[in-house]
Structure 1
Amino acid sequence: MGRSCIPKCKTARLMGWLQIILGSLVILVSILSLTRFYYAGFFLHNEEICQHLYTTIKDVNHGFDAKALSDRVEQVLDMLETLQGKLELKEKEMEKNKGIALDKKYLEDEIVRPLHSANVALRQIRLPKIEEGGNFTVKEDPLINYFVTEEIRKYITSKENRIGKINLYGSDKVYNTIGHACVLHKKELERYMDYDIGSYCDDDWNLAQKLMLNGCDPLPRRRCLTRASKVYYKPYPINESLWRIPDERNVRWGNYQCRNFECLSSKNPKRGYSKCTGCFEMEKEKVKWVSNTSLSTDFLISDVLAIKPGEIRIGLDYGIGTGTFAARMREKNVTIVSTALNLGAPFNEMIALRGLVPLYVTLNQRLPFFDNIMDLIHTSGFMDGWIDFLLLDFILYDWDRVLRPGGLLWIDKFFCKKKDLDDYMYMFLQLRYRKHMWVISPKSKDEVYLSALLQKPPRAI
């Protein structure tokens, strides 16, 4: 009789301890709540304390994500309530079937892990830190309670300088930024930041680019190792790499429809990208901007540089391509940075392997350049009649910001519907740039091309 009682006693003792733990958590939360009520003056009816609390809450709520905090508390309470329900159901089941016992797998999966998750979620709740001495400034970072993945929370938490000194930027902390639209893609961003620190990152560049294109830009930095191609061959010398297809072993072909450069040929209808026809074929690329064509909207580099002889030294190529414009300008001793996105093909890898500089930015990002520094901005193939007028307005003003006085804006074969041409012409001319070249030609029955070379005015203060 004594031996048969041992399993039941162990089960009852285990259930008792679990109920004690849950009860202790409830008592702890209750005591903390009563303490807050006490200091708020609900029991003593102290007007000064009430006024003090009102001022504090008002200041704390300003800039603090109270909804995220409330959601996190609700999440923890739901986890504890679910766990309590499972325990009560199991207890009734054990009372009904006297011989049943708790197995190890059930304890681990249904009780221990949920209790651990609730504990972690409760500990991750971050409350605003209020300075002493009556200064009720919110010291907590925004959105800290919104994300669950700890790596994101570590990234967006401000990093205080060591020894309390002001850094060279004149700040006592460093704030890492993420795009505000990241809150709209919480699951995708948490999947992007879910990795083992120091290990290899997942092959998820397409997930990162999707987040960027949806406004979650800039993305947080990661503490994992980037994957490269399995076999990497040294790039060709610069005098050879500009006009030669790179070794395909130097490209990590994961997540592309094609697996080699031959597949990216314009003759392949299933190559995986639609823009920049023939841009992976050097014979077609070599004639761009250097030979006359039947289209009057095709300007030559030599004609453009002749307008400002010796003044064009650095510039930006804003479009989709493999860096051919930058390659041609390099031959003219002009340094060009090319914006690039991997829209179905390895555009960034191709530009870099040619010995040129790709800038991985989206259309919705402010250019990472200082004011009035570029001699030339060239745009081709990236924008056409699909673009919203307000978006185009912001982009043009950003180009104007980085373009120096007297710098050139080269709009290369922009196309749109005929009925929209007047509106787009107004957009390009609103900043009162000087016209050096301005050509309109038909593209189809309903569409037209527009090419222009415009000069930024000095705008003396």
Structure 2
Amino acid sequence: MGSVSLQIGDGTARFRRATLCSSALHLLMLSSVITTNLFAFYAFTSSPSSSSAAAHARNISLISENVALIVREIEASERRLHQIERELAGYDTFDPAKSSLPPDLKLFLARHPLPLGRDARSGITEMVSSVAHSCARSPAADLLARYMSYEPAAPCPLDDPFLPQKLVAKACEPLPRRRCLSHSTATAAAPRLPFPQSLWSPGTKNPGAGIYGLDKQLWIKPRRKSDILIDDVLALGRGGIRIGFDIGGGAGNFAARMAERNVTVVTSTLEVGGKPMNEFIAARGLFPLLLSPSQRFPFIDSVFDLVHTMNALDEGGAPALGQASRTEALEFLMFDIDRVLRPGGFFWLDNYLCAGDERKRMVTRLIERLAYKKLKWAVEEKAEASGTEKAQQLYLSALLQKPARG
């Protein structure tokens, strides 16, 4: 029993409520023990006479009732304290019985009995819907209520087409399924151009500029000393790179370059700035995946020959683990990357912008813990103006090979 701490920003917010409840419970238990002992001492040390035998029996009965009452109070206090701690941690706050929840959200959250009865192996008798507990926290709870407020079998609401994106960005993932008809956008309904022409002329509006738009020079011609080129990586792979995963891949330029070289790459991306990134990637004939880096990758172990990322090391911890710069947030992401990468496969960290030398050391130490072989390693320092001072930034590029573990 004790205080519950949540890491917020650069400091720690401590909830005194749990501490006070815990202290009160301890005092209650102490006073109960003292009171019970006093009653017992009085009952068993008093000299019973023939006239006081009934009184002595009543004292024993009173002690028993008092002990039973104290035990019930302690159990009730423990249950309440446990509930408070779970609420502070963000659990058990999604109550399907709440009248404010939309009907279809209640229906989705309701437990359903297994069609064949009790599972013999696990003992489970009901099916529980998979919705992240962070969906119950504000402001995600309000957004989720809007997301599930619709008329079944009718067109889905159009008040905010990027509502699913906002929920995913707040770690409300996976989202509930809906029973409404989605709206086809002009981009999705446009005729598809043949492949490979669609890779660089998809016939849809360019969703952005730079790494979020079309860039035919990336990974082909070096721009800085930390650049790693695609052809060099494929040469090191010796024909063994066939399927890859690009985390936070923007408009899918990396996947497009790999497709030209007969390598299939799945691109995870969010709708940056309200731009239809996933539709744009699909129009290019590539595979988009709407997924926040803070969630476990929906792939089986050891499936990819190559995992590539530019900026996901900073996004991987937020918002599910608080600050993205936390060591634990980086570890959760890196170990999941390691999980989906096959032994002998390559992890390509591409021009990752470290906010100082300490961040670079943190990433380096984690890579060394995983015992990856460093095939390429390049660091470029860049000083950029930050107000009246100079803020040091380091670009780190690395091509690493996963070891075969016993």
Into which bin does the TM-score normalised by the smaller protein fall? 0.5 to 0.7
Match in the other structure for 2:129: 176
Cα–Cα, structure 1 residues 170 and 439, in superposed 2: closer, same or farther, change >3 Å? farther
Whole-angstrom CA distance in 2 between matches of 1:149 and 1:449? 47
Whole-angstrom CA distance in 1 between matches of 2:327 and 2:116? 50
Matched, 1:374 2:304: yes
Q: Among residues 397, 400, 406, which one is paired with 1:451 in the alignment?
A: 397
Gaps of 5+ in 1: 1-46, 69-139, 249-260, 267-276
Match in the other structure for 1:221: 177
Deviations 1:418-440 (A, max 9, x none): 33222232233321111110111
Matched, 1:440 2:379: yes
Match in the other structure for 1:115: none
Q: Residue 381 of structure 1 contacts residue 414 of structure 1 at CA under 8 Å; is this kept in 2?
A: yes
Match in the other structure for 2:199: 242
Structure 1 residue 171 displacement after superposition: 5.9
SS in structure 1 of the partner of residue 136 of structure 2: helix
Whole-angstrom CA distance in 1 between matches of 2:341 and 2:117? 39
Deviations 1:37-83 (A, max 9, x none): xxxxxxxxxx9xx99xx7xx98xx79x98999xxxxxxxxxxxxxxx
Structure 1 residue 388 displacement after superposition: 3.0
Matched, 1:428 2:367: yes
Matched, 1:338 2:298: no
Match in the other structure for 2:14: none
Q: Among residues 326, 336, 350, which one is paired with 1:388 in the alignment?
A: 326
Matches within 5 A, 1:133-282: 143-146=95-98, 148-162=101-115, 164=117, 172-185=125-138, 186-203=141-158, 204-229=160-185, 232-248=189-205, 261=206, 264=207, 266=209, 277=210, 279-281=212-214
TM-score (norm 1): 0.60
Deviations 1:102-161 (A, max 9, x none): xxxxxxxxxxxxxxxxxxxxxxxxxxxxxxxxxxxxxx9973335632211110112223
Structure 1 residue 229 displacement after superposition: 2.0
Structure 1 residue 327 displacement after superposition: 1.2
Amino acid at match of 2:146: R
Q: Residue 245 of structure 2 contacts residue 267 of structure 2 at CA under 8 Å; is this kept in 1?
A: yes
SS in structure 2 of the partner of residue 358 of structure 1: strand
Q: Give the aligned CA root-mean-square deviation in angstroms.
A: 3.5
Matched, 1:409 2:339: no
Match in the other structure for 1:81: none
Whole-angstrom CA distance in 2 between matches of 1:245 and 1:222? 30
Q: Residue 211 of structure 2 contacts residue 250 of structure 2 at CA under 8 Å; is this kept in 1?
A: no
Structure 1 residue 381 displacement after superposition: 3.5
Whole-angstrom CA distance in 1 between matches of 2:136 and 2:150? 20
Match in the other structure for 2:11: none
Q: Residue 246 of structure 1 contacts residue 350 of structure 1 at CA under 8 Å; is this kept in 2?
A: no
SS in structure 2 of the partner of residue 338 of structure 1: strand
Please say which structure displays the higher CA radius of gyration. Answer: 1
Whole-angstrom CA distance in 2 between matches of 1:313 and 1:178? 34
Amino acid at match of 1:207: L
Deviations 1:298-346 (A, max 9, x none): 1111111111212111110012421111111112221110001001122
SS in structure 1 of the partner of residue 254 of structure 2: helix
Structure 1 residue 358 displacement after superposition: 0.6
Matched, 1:288 2:243: no
Q: Residue 303 of structure 2 contacts residue 341 of structure 2 at CA under 8 Å; is this kept in 1?
A: yes
Match in the other structure for 2:41: none
Match in the other structure for 1:135: none
Amino acid at match of 2:219: W
Structure 1 residue 167 displacement after superposition: 11
Structure 1 residue 163 displacement after superposition: 5.6
Match in the other structure for 1:310: 239
Q: Residue 151 of structure 1 contacts residue 193 of structure 1 at CA under 8 Å; is this kept in 2?
A: yes
Whole-angstrom CA distance in 2 between matches of 1:170 and 1:412? 47
Q: Residue 141 of structure 1 contacts residue 156 of structure 1 at CA under 8 Å; is this kept in 2?
A: no
Q: Residue 141 of structure 1 contacts residue 157 of structure 1 at CA under 8 Å; is this kept in 2?
A: no
Amino acid at match of 2:399: L
Structure 1 residue 210 displacement after superposition: 1.7
Cα–Cα, structure 1 residues 441 and 368, in superposed 2: closer, same or farther, change >3 Å? same
Gaps of 5+ in 2: 1-64, 87-91, 316-323, 385-391
Whole-angstrom CA distance in 2 between matches of 1:237 and 1:144? 48
Q: Residue 340 of structure 1 contacts residue 360 of structure 1 at CA under 8 Å; is this kept in 2?
A: yes
Cα–Cα, structure 1 residues 167 and 374, in superposed 2: closer, same or farther, change >3 Å? farther
Match in the other structure for 1:363: 293
Whole-angstrom CA distance in 2 between matches of 1:150 and 1:294? 55
Structure 1 residue 382 displacement after superposition: 3.8
Name the one with the larger strand percent: 2
Whole-angstrom CA distance in 1 between matches of 2:120 and 2:276? 39
SS in structure 1 of the partner of residue 212 of structure 2: coil
SS in structure 2 of the partner of residue 438 of structure 1: strand
Structure 1 residue 227 displacement after superposition: 1.0
